[in-house]
Homo-oligomer: A and B are copies of this chain.
Amino acid sequence: MGTPTIGGTRYKEVKNAMLAALSAQEWKGGEAIPSEKRLAERFGVSIGTLRKAIDELVADNILVRHQGLGTFVSQHQRDRHFFRFFRIVRQDGDKTYPTVSLVSFRKAKATREIAAMLGTEPNARVFTFVNRLALHGETVMIDNIAVAEARFPGLTEAALRERPSTLYNFYQDSFHINVVGTEERLRVATADDAESKLLEVPHGTPLLEVRRVAYSYHHAPVEVRISHVNTARYEYVGPSASHEEPL
């Protein structure tokens, strides 16, 4: 193979070559990639080795296999792994999809903090917008979101408002950016004026703050999101740290 990246082993080389192809949008979100046999020939490895590379990409949630159908570039929402990124559930455990509405949208310069998290230069231009999320008809969560203008050229309030699906799906379809992972930090914060109105709680009510950075391939930062959650009736589901299937 062309060894686009030097990896210690054959299958890592194959994995990196496939990540490169994904970054170059040779295969786009939702599309099927070539069959294992064809890819094995293309990269000059046996099917077993090719499978090991794909195994890791599947473990990373970058690809999805469907027996008898093919292997596909992960798509958000449609793949029902929506709740991997949306972790707020009712305290009785009930999971529902949130109703999202856009509260504000503007262009701005990144604060030092946001720039650092986005990995851009300080003062880079960013789009910032605020979403209100409701569950069971009740506003539960306010998201403050920032993305780099350079990565989302031509993003408009109208496009955001009219997106047919989830935000990460919109990033994928309209900007060919695949969110494949996130990192989150949680702490307690309090409701400011705007939030107390939207959430219908008194000013200063303690809220759960979730600071998230979303990443694409190669851990490249895509989006920064600071969420404030009213946990009176809802809560955040943390990591499960085990994948053992029930018998």
Contacting pair B188 A206 (CB below 8 A): yes
Kindly state the interface size class of chain A when it binds its partner: 35 or more
Q: A182-B240, A244-B60 are in contact. Are A207 and B235 (CB under 8 A)?
A: no
Neighbouring B residues of A208 by C-beta, 8 Å? 186-188, 208
Contacting pair B241 A182 (CB below 8 A): yes
Chain A residues 212-227 with CB under 8 Å of chain B are: 215, 217-219
Report A67-96 CB contacts with B as 1/0, cut-off 8 Å: 000000000000000001101000100000
Neighbouring B residues of A243 by C-beta, 8 Å? 59-60
Question: In the complex the two chains form, what is the Cα distance from A195 to B206 in whole Å?
Answer: 17
Neighbouring B residues of A190 by C-beta, 8 Å? 206
Contacting pair B180 A84 (CB below 8 A): no
Question: In the complex the two chains form, what is the Cα distance from A244 to B231 in whole Å?
Answer: 32
> Does A185 sit at the interface, judged by CB under 8 A?
yes
Q: How many copies does the complex hold?
A: 2
Neighbouring B residues of A180 by C-beta, 8 Å? 242, 244
> Does A110 sit at the interface, judged by CB under 8 A?
no
Contacting pair A231 B183 (CB below 8 A): no
A-B residue pairs, 6 tightest by C-beta: A181-B242, A184-B238, A206-B206, A239-B239, A187-B231, A186-B236
User: Given known contacts A187-B236, A218-B246, what 10 new A-B pairs fall within 8 Å (CB)?
Assistant: A87-B239, A181-B244, A184-B239, A185-B237, A185-B238, A186-B208, A188-B206, A190-B206, A215-B242, A219-B242
A-B contact pairs, 28 of them (CB 8 A): A16-B247, A60-B242, A60-B243, A62-B244, A181-B241, A181-B244, A182-B240, A182-B241, A183-B240, A184-B237, A184-B238, A184-B240, A185-B235, A185-B236, A186-B208, A186-B235, A187-B208, A187-B235, A187-B236, A188-B188, A188-B231, A190-B206, A206-B206, A210-B238, A215-B242, A217-B244, A218-B244, A219-B244
